[in-house]
Structure 1
Amino acid sequence: MKVVCKDKCDHHAQLENNAYYFSFFENSGNPNIGTIGLELLKNFKKKGVTPSSLVFDFLRIGLAINAADQVCDRSHSPDGWTRQIDLEVSLCNPEKWEDTKEDLIKLLKKLTGDFWRLSFIQSNKEFKWDTPHPSKLKPYENATCVSLLSGGMDSLIGGIDLYEKGEKPLFISQVVKGDRQKQIQYAKALKSTDRHFQWSHATKLRSRGERSSRARSIVFYSFALIASELLKSTKTKKIVVPENGFISLNIPLNLGRFGSLSTKTTHPIVLESLENIWKSVGLDVQLVNPYQFMTKGEMIKNCNNQKLLKRYLSTTTSCSRYLTYGYKHCGRCVPCLVRRAAFLASGFPDKTKEYAVKKIAKGGIEKDANDISAVAMACIMRDKKGVKYFRGALAFADAENYSRYEKVVDTGIFELQALLQQHKVIS
C-alpha cells in the first residue's frame, strides 16, 4: 500500500495506480488527491504560531502517518490486520530527518503492528511566516508547559492539577466530533481560554478508509510540539500527557489482545521513543505522564480541586465507540468499563448522561470484540495466579519501576473486578 503526501506544487499530473495521494494544506484540484490540514495554517496565523522548519517538518510527518493509517484498509491485508505501508512525505529539510527513519519505523511498528517504509523528499514549496503582532503572543509570555486537553476525564484532571499547582499550560486539543465544546468549556473553567489551541488534521479521504487508527496520537503530539515553541523557557520544554497508568499500559486482557491489537498511544515506551527521536534532531522536549503509576480511580481521588472536578467529571468522554453510539457512551468497551470502575472506586457519583448498556451483565456480544468477557477473564486470572500472570506485558520495565507498574496493573484490575461484581458478571 503506497501513500504519497506532498505539497500541491509537487504533485504530478499522472498518478500511479494502486497508490493514495494527499496534498498538504491546500486542495490540489485533482479529485483523486485527498487533502490534509486545509485550515491549519490559517489557524496558526490567527494564533500567532510561527513554527521552525524542523518542527514544521515533524508536523508534516505526523500528518502523513495519520493519513496513511486512515486510508490503508486492514481488510485488504493477507491476515486482515498487518499492512505493508510505503509512505512518501515531502519536507522542507528532509536530510535532517534521514537518520531518524529507522527509529520512526520501530515506533510505528509498536503503535500499529504494520511494516512501514518511509521516504522523505524535498518539497519545492517555500513557507514564509509573518511576524505576529505582539498582542497575539502576549497570552503565552508566562506559559510554563504544554498539556493535552482531549475532552476526556484524565486530561481534565491533568489540567486541574496543573492549574492548582500554579502552572500556566498551553492546552492543546485535537478537534473531534462531539468534544469541541467540552474542550472549550474545560479551558474556560481553567482560565486558559487564550492559551487554548484547537487544531484538526482534517484528513479528507477519497473513499472510506480504516477505522482502527492506531497512529492518531502522532498528530496530537505533533500539535503539542508546535505549541512548545511558544514556551520561553531555556530549559527542557515539557509536554504533559495526562493518562492513567492502567490504560497507558493497556495490558492484553486475554491471549487474543497482544501487540497492536491493544492500543499503545501513551505507553511509556512510545513516549520515550518519540522523545528520543526529537532529541536526536536537536529538539529538547520532554513527554511527561504524571499519572503513570495511578489508576483512573486514584486520579479522581487525588485530584487537587475536588469541587471543580465534581462540576465537570461526568461530562467528560471516555468511550472508544462514542461516535458509533450517537455521541454517548456505550458502557461496555474497555475505556467505558475503566471509567465506570473509577467512579465506583473513588466514591464519586456517576452522572454520565447515558450509557447505551446500563446493565453490564446484559451487555451481550457485539460485532466488535467482547470487552466485558475479556475484562472478566482478566479478573478471574488475577484471582487465580495473581498479578504475575500479566508480567509479560511488563517486560519493558526497568528494575527500579517494575513493582510500581505491577501495582498499577493490580489496582486497575481490582477496580474493574469490583465493578463486575456489583453488576453480577462475576462473583
Structure 2
Amino acid sequence: MRHHNIIARLGPSDTGKIEMSSPNTYTTDIQFIANSGLCFGLSNVLRQLRELGLRPSETSVDLVLLAAAITAADTRISRAADAQDAWTRKIDIHVPVQDPERWITQGSLINKMLRFLTGDRWHIHFRPRPPEVGTLAAPPSILPLATPSSVCLFSGGLDSFIGAIDLIASGESPILVSHYGDNLTPGYQDHCAHVLKQHYHSKTIHRIQARVIFPTNTIAARFVENSQRGRSFLFFALASLTADAIGNDMTVYVPENGLISLNVPLDRLRLGALSTRTTHPYYMARFDELLSGLGLRIRLVNPYAFLTKGQMAKACADLPFLQREAKYTMSCSSPGGRRYDPDPRQRDPKHCGRCVPCLIRRAAILEAWGVDDTPYRIPDLRGQILNTKMAEGEHVRSFQFLLSRLIRKPSRARLDILRPGPLTDHLDKLASYEAVYLAGMQEVGRLLEGVVARPL
C-alpha cells in the first residue's frame, strides 16, 4: 500500500510547507490557479453562473475545490497499484479555504462520508488561503437573469430526464446541473436539454454544464483508476454551488429510482463500497449534514426514493413526450465499451443492454409502456444463450440468482436493503425501502422471464 498526500495549491504564492501525517508518503501538488483563474473546468462553472447574474459564496466555492481535489485523487490513484488489498487506498487531501475554522469542524464528517462512499481511508486537512488570492467567485456585471425555484441534477439519463419533466410540468423552474468526463455523455445531455426547451418553450430553462477532469499524469503512476466511487461528491458539490448562487433556502433534486439508489449488491462478494453508493440515503443524509454544518441553506431531495424506474416512467407528468424521447437518454454504464472493436459497425456508442443499469432500464420501459425502441447491442435477451463467463451474461445471471433467493425466502428483503449501508436516518421508512426493492427486482424478473444465461 502506498500512502498519498494530495496538496491543492492556489497560485504561485501558495508554497507553504505542509505537515505530513505519515513519514512514508507520496506527495503530489496540484496547482488550481493559472492565468488568474481556477483550473480543471472550475472557472468555466463560475463563468456560467456569472453570465446568469449569479454569484456563489466562497464557502460553496471551497466545497467545489475540495470536491475537485477528491476527484483528482479518486480518478488518478490506482487501486490495483497503490492499495494493499487491491481496493482500499490511503489518501490525505490538503485544501486551502477561506474560513478554516468552519471547515475543520466538519473534517471528521467528511472523512466518514468519503470512507462510506469509496471504501478508502481519507483524511481531509484545511489551511487558510494565501492572502493574495482573495475571493474566487467574481461578482457578475449584470443583474440576475435567472429566477429559478430549485436545482435538478441532469445527467442525460432516463431518471434525470423524468425528474426534469416532472419538475417543469409541476410549475417549478429548475436550473439543470450536468457534469461529464467523457466525450459521449454531453451529446445526450445536450439533446435532452434541447428537447426540454423546445417542448416547454414558454418556460425559461437554464443549465450549468461542468467538466471537471484531470490529466492522466496529474499523479505519477503506472495506472489510473476507473471505479470513480467518489463522483457523487463532485456532482452534489456542483449542484450545491449553483443552489447557493441562487440564494434563499434551496432544494437540490436528485432524481434516482429507489432500486438503484439502494443498490443492493447482486453478488455476495460485492459488499460495501464495492457497489456504488452514489445516491444511497445514508450518504445523502450525511451530505445534507455537511451543508448545514457549513451554513449553506440547501437540502438534497430524491423525490423517487420509493418508486421503481418503471413506476417513475409510468407516472411521468408528460408520458407521450417521454415515450418519444426516452431512446435518446443514456443509462448504460459503458456505452463506448466497443470503441476499439475490429468491426467498425460495433464501434458506435450505444446501450450494451446487459449491464445492471441497462437491465433495470429495459425492465422499466417495458413495465411503463410495453415497447422499448432503444438500440441495444443485445437487442433480444431471449435470442441467444448468454455466456456468464463473459460480460454479456454476468449481470443477467446475478439478477437471476438474487431473484431465486428472494422467491425462496421473501423475508430476506428486509436484510438485503441494509447490506449496502445503514438506513438509520429513515427508520420509519424501512417498510417503504423494502417495498421498492422488491417491486424493482420483480420488474427485472419479468424482463428476464425465459432468458437463459449459463457458462459456455
**TM-score, normalization by structure 2:** 0.84
**Corresponding residue of 2:358:** 336
Alignment of 1:25-424 (within 5 A): 25-26=33-34, 37=42, 39-75=44-80, 76-124=82-130, 125-127=133-135, 129-134=137-142, 137-138=144-145, 140-141=146-147, 143-176=148-181, 177-191=183-197, 194-206=205-217, 208-232=223-247, 234=248, 236-326=249-339, 327-356=349-378, 358-359=380-381, 361-366=385-390, 370-389=394-413, 391-394=415-418, 395-397=422-424, 398-424=426-452
CA deviations on 1:328-353 (whole Å, 9 max, x unpaired) are 21211111111111122223421112
Preserved CA contact (<8 Å) 1:245 1:292: yes
Q: Give yes or no for contact 2:388–2:453 (8 Å, CA) kept in 1.
A: no
Give the drift of 1:415.
0.9
Seen in structure 2, the aligned counterparts of structure 1 residues 253 and 22 have a Cα distance that, compared at 3 Å, is: same
State whether residues 41 and 210 of structure 2, in contact with CA within 8 Å, keep that contact through their aligned partners in structure 1. Answer: no
Q: Distance in 2 between matches of 1:39 and 1:170?
A: 16
CA shift, 1:49, in A, is 3.6
Shift of 1:374: 1.5
Q: Is contact 2:118-2:273 (8 Å) kept? A: yes
Question: Which residue identity lines up with residue 134 of structure 2 in the other structure?
Answer: E
Structure-2 change in CA distance of 1:10 and 1:371 (3 Å): farther
- Give 1:368 deviation, angstroms: 10
- Matches of 1:95 and 1:267 in 2, distance apart? 29
Letter aligned with residue 124 of structure 2: L
Q: Is the 8 A contact 1:331 1:356 kept in 2?
A: yes
**What's the RMSD between the two structures over aligned residues?**
2.6
Displacement of 1:214 in angstroms is 0.3
Q: 1:57 to 1:13 in 2, by over 3 A?
A: closer
Which residue of the other structure, out of 2, 7, 23, is the alignment partner of 2:5?
2
Aligned length: 416
Q: Which moved more, 1:121-130 or 1:64-73?
A: 121-130
Task: Give the equivalent residue in structure 2 for 1:31.
Answer: none
- What is the CA–CA distance in structure 2 between the aligned matches of 1:105 and 1:128, rounded to whole Å? 25
- State the 1:38 CA deviation: 6.0
C-alpha offsets along residues 83-112 of structure 1, whole Å, 9 cap, x if unaligned?
A: 111111122222211010101111111100
Any conservation in 1 of the 2:354–2:392 contact (CA below 8 Å)? no
For the structure 1 residues 36 and 18, does the alpha-carbon distance in structure 2 shift closer, same or farther, using more than 3 Å as the test?
farther
C-alpha deviation, 1:157, in angstroms: 0.3
For residues 347-396 of structure 1, what are the alpha-carbon distances to aligned partners after superposition, in whole Å with 9 as ceiling and x for unaligned? 34211123257436425433799322221111111111115245143352
SS in 1 for 2:259: helix
Name the CA shift for 1:197/1:244 in 2 (closer, same or farther; >3 Å).
same
Q: Deviation of residue 300 (structure 1)?
A: 0.6
What is the Cα deviation at residue 323 of structure 1? 3.0
Are residues 14 and 94 of structure 1, via their aligned partners in 2, closer, same or farther at CA, if it must alter by over 3 Å?
A: closer
Unaligned runs of 5+ in 2: 198-202, 340-348
TM normalised by structure 1 equals: 0.90
Q: Secondary structure of the equivalent of 2:428?
A: coil
- Structure 1 residue identity aligned to 2:437: V
C-alpha distance in 1 between matches for 2:230 and 2:184: 20
What letter matches 1:213 in structure 2?
A: Q
Give 2:246's aligned amino acid. Answer: L
Q: In structure 1, what is the Cα distance between the partners aligned to 2:427 and 2:188?
A: 40
Q: Which amino acid aligns with 1:179?
A: T
